Amino acid sequence: MLSRVAESLFWMSRYFERAENTARFLDVNFNLLLDLNKITPIENPNYWIALILVTSDKVRFNNQYNEYTARSVTDYLVFNKDNPNSIISCIGLARENARSIIESISSEMWEQVNNLYHYLQNITPQYVHNDPYSFYKEIKNASHLFQGITDNTFSHNEGWDFIQIAKYLERSDNIARLIDVKYHMLLSEAQSQPEIVEGSEDIIQWMAVLKSCSALEAFRKVYLSKIDPDNILRFLILDRTFPRSINFSVCAAEDALWRISGSSRHRYVNNADRLIGKMEAELSYTAIEDIYAKGLHVYLEDLEQRLVKVGEQVHLTYFAYHTPEIESSDIAEALPFTGIAGGRPNWSQAQQHQQQQ
């Protein structure tokens, strides 16, 4: 297929997944604060800072807002058009990519992207404030519907595989960020208020992490009621069967990449295959103790960087308009990303658009 089409399928899928994850983060935070009885009148800014840290654009946020409140953070993550990762920006970019390949995707897929786009144009901050639950559910359902439509109306060939790669790379990255930030926050709270380390508030927060990955019920089936950080990390990072765990997502991205190139377990064809294969192998043979030995934060950060590298190699192998020599390192200069916003890969199209009548 055309490289440009493959690239647009990739970013369409990636931005849709990103929007869904942001909706999940926000949704769970509201629920968490309700559980902890902290939503008003005195909102605890720590809980809202966390969301900005997950999406890691603290600087951009601080340029525009003075305080971390439900309203400011919601506005920034849902509506702010200057934030390339806000839900409205993500869906706008997903739609723009879809629009540029409208002849390649099924018309049902286009209708779904377009519907969500128009739905968002009519949503006010007040609406989200009054009924956050319904709003985030709408976003999550729209994303699930899109994936279902894609699975059932779009041929499962190369293009579909690019959609899967994008979705699972984005998802692994989001889970890693979420764990990292929550862990960080809980740790710092534990240090400042040592008396609640073992308290129920802690458990509620970890449950929130699970919930934002729709993982609470699945987790319980595996670990019964034993909610402790070790098991939660084991589940979200290493579980091979739960679709919102990192290991599962990396495996799924690997499958899709290998289907495209024809790589197999003992033989890789390009660097994208090599890097994803290495990640998958390591995840499969890692125990939670290994992660602790390395330090959770260091481990997750390393994971995020390796996901970025896989994305770069996918770009060079399939989208870049020249055939790259296979080289293992030092590719940063060749990257097309005009800026990695908040450390997250973003789509950029060549800036020139000549108008012609």
Partner 1 sequence: MSRFFERYEADAVRFFDEVISKEGIPRPHYNKLLHRFGQFSIDDIKARREIVNIFFRNQGITFTVYGEDEGVERIFPFDLIPRVVPAHEWQTIEKGLVQRIKALNEFLYDIYHTQKILKDKIIPPELILGSQHFRREFVGVNPPLGIYIHITGSDIIRDGAGNYLVLEDNLRTPSGVSYMLQNRQAMKRAFPVLFDKYKIRPIENYPQELLRTLQEISPDSRREPNVVVLTPGIYNSAYFEHSFLARQMGVELTEGKDLVVNDNKVYTRTTRGLERVDVIYRRVDDAFLDPLVFRPDSKLGVAGLVNAYRKGNVTLANAIGTGVADDKVIYSFVPAIIKYYLGEDPILQNVPTWLASNPSDLKYILENLGSLVVKAANESGGYGMLVGPESTIEQQETFAEMIVANPRNYIAQPTISLSRHPSFFNDTDLWGCHIDLRPYVLYGKTVTIVPGGLTRVALKRGSLVVNSSQGGGSKDTWVVDE
The contact set with partner 1 (CB under 8 A) reads 1-6, 96, 99-104, 107, 110-111, 114-115, 118, 158, 260, 318-319, 321, 323, 350, 352-357
Q: How far is the CB of 97 from partner 1 (least distance, A)?
A: 10
Q: How far is the CB of 5 from partner 1 (least distance, A)?
A: 8
Give the residue with the Cβ less far from partner 1, 154 or 223. Answer: 154
Give the residue with the Cβ less far from partner 1, 285 or 321. Answer: 321
Of 60, 56, 46, the C-alpha closest to 22 is 56
What separation, in Å, do the N-terminal and C-terminal C-alpha atoms of the chain show? 29
- What the block records as the tokens of 68 is 């971390």
Q: How far is the CB of 352 from partner 1 (least distance, A)?
A: 5
- Please give the Cα distance from 49 to 31 (Å, whole number): 16
**DSSP β-bridge partners for residue 264:** 267
Give the residue with the Cβ less far from partner 1, 110 or 242. Answer: 110
CA distances from residue 2 to 122, 159, 273 in whole angstroms, order as listed: 35, 10, 20
Give the residue with the Cβ less far from partner 1, 40 or 357. Answer: 357
- What the block records as the tokens of 204 is 């509620």
| 321-324: Cβ within 8 A, 24+ apart | 321/3
Task: Tell me the residue type at 96.
Answer: E
Q: How far is the CB of 145 from partner 1 (least distance, A)?
A: 14
Give the residue with the Cβ less far from partner 1, 53 or 120. Answer: 120
Give the residue with the Cβ less far from partner 1, 242 or 258. Answer: 258
Give the residue with the Cβ less far from partner 1, 27 or 161. Answer: 161
Q: How far is the CB of 311 from partner 1 (least distance, A)?
A: 15
Give the residue with the Cβ less far from partner 1, 74 or 112. Answer: 112
Q: How far is the CB of 104 from partner 1 (least distance, A)?
A: 8
Q: How far is the CB of 48 from partner 1 (least distance, A)?
A: 33
CB 24 within 8 A of CB 136: yes
- Please give the Cα distance from 252 to 259 (Å, whole number): 11
Give the residue with the Cβ less far from partner 1, 267 or 353. Answer: 353
Task: Tell me the residue type at 60.
Answer: R
Task: Tell me the residue type at 317.
Answer: T
Give the residue with the Cβ less far from partner 1, 257 or 291. Answer: 257
- DSSP track, 300-356: HHHHHHHHHHHHHHHIIIIISSS-----SS--GGG---S--BTTB------S-----
Q: How far is the CB of 51 from partner 1 (least distance, A)?
A: 31
Q: What's the CA dihedral at 292, 297, 298, 299 to 10 degrees?
A: 60
Asked whether the CA dihedral 335, 336, 340, 345 is positive or negative, the reply is negative
CB-neighbour burial class of residue 190 (10 A; exposed 0-12, middle 13-18, buried 19+): middle
Q: How far is the CB of 329 from partner 1 (least distance, A)?
A: 23
CB 58 within 8 A of CB 52: yes
Rg of the chain over Cα atoms, rounded to whole angstroms, equals 20
Q: How far is the CB of 157 from partner 1 (least distance, A)?
A: 11
Task: Tell me the residue type at 234.
Answer: R
